[in-house]
Amino acid sequence: MTATQPSHKPRVAFVGTGIMGAPMCAHVLEAGYPTRIWNRSRLKADAFAARGGIVCDSVSEAIGGADFVLCMLDTGDTIDRVLFEAIADTEPPVNNLAEGAVVIVMSSISVETTVRHSSYLAARGVAYMDAPVSGGERGATEGTLTIMAGGDEAVCAQAQPLLETMGRVTRVGPVGAGQLAKLVNQAIVGITIGAVAEALILAQRGGADPALVRAALLGGFADSTILRQHGQRMVEHAFAPGARAELQLKDLRNARLHAAQLGIELPFLCLAEQQFQRMCERGLSQLDHSALYLMLEQPDG
């Protein structure tokens, strides 16, 4: 382990240093927060030792004594296993947290799982925030993520300086509201990826250069971050994952299920979910979600 320099900042535990978590953790360290780090693949965490992070062998070691626990694991089930479930004869790792600590889940998970996590921790005097992010790998790297926070107003204010090291924070309501905002975000993203992919395929099959059509649309009413970033990926066929298709599918499924609980029918959302399901069944689940273009380009491939 590499010791950090003395700091008056709150102590942070960062759990999950994958595609998004790694650059987010880097910003936290750069801001001077004493940080303990755990990742399922130790190699991905070891890179932070040279930056002053303390790399830990277990989740319990990482979160012990933390004022804030930042969690960036891929699914609610993974968070349950890593943080909330007992291992052998030991208690769940989160039971090691001191009263007054704050757990901040920045992963995209269901609203129901968020509420369950919050209730469990509240009974132990530990606060909880759901603070999922949007902006992809680029936003994580540049520290410009959109962070949708749900939780008690005072707790969110307490966590805001830490979260602002990674992007722009907006409290959207109580616990669960952050995840609901993320589902709204992912519905827009998933549907728009499909729209951009189909439009560029139409341009190509009609005899126009899709790259030039995309360039012509920039600044117009059809412009969007999806057209700019993912439209570029599509015309270049560059689909290294920034946000994997399987995670987009997971979010669309959660959004559809939550809408059903509210008695709402969302046909465009359902269609987008079906298309991403087909994409993943075609073996493209590990590619960037913009690779939906490939599936639509060759529907029988």
Q: Which residues are catalytic?
A: 182
- pLDDT, tens digit, for every residue of 15-60? 999 999 999 999 999 999 999 999 998 888 999 999 999 999 999 9
Q: Do the Cβ atoms of 15 and 60 come closer than 8 Å? A: no
Give the largest CA-CA distance in the chain.
66
Mean pLDDT of 265-282: 97
DSSP character for 144?
-
Same fold, 12-173 and 181-297: no
Q: How confident is the model at residue 7 (pLDDT cuts 50, 70, 90)?
A: low
Q: How confident is the model at residue 224 (pLDDT cuts 50, 70, 90)?
A: very high
Residue 117 class from Cβ within 10 Å (0-12 exposed, 13-18 middle, 19+ buried)?
buried
- pLDDT, tens digit, for every residue of 96-108? 899 999 999 999 9
pLDDT (0 to 100) of residue 1: 38
Query: Would you identify the CATH topology of the domain 12-173?
Result: Rossmann fold (3.40.50)
pLDDT (0 to 100) of residue 26: 97
Distance CA 128, CA 145 (A): 20
* In the chain, domain spans: 12-173, 181-297
Q: How confident is the model at residue 301 (pLDDT cuts 50, 70, 90)?
A: low
Beta strands in the chain, from DSSP E residues, in sequence order: 12-15, 35-38, 54-55, 68-71, 102-105, 127-130, 133-134, 145-150, 167-173
DSSP character for 94?
G
Mean pLDDT of 65-74: 95
- pLDDT, tens digit, for every residue of 149-180? 999 999 999 999 999 999 999 999 999 999 99
Distance CA 210, CA 191 (A): 19
Q: Do the Cβ atoms of 107 and 100 come closer than 8 Å? A: no
Query: Would you identify the CATH topology of the domain 181-297?
Result: N-(1-d-carboxylethyl)-l-norvaline Dehydrogenase; domain 2 (1.10.1040)
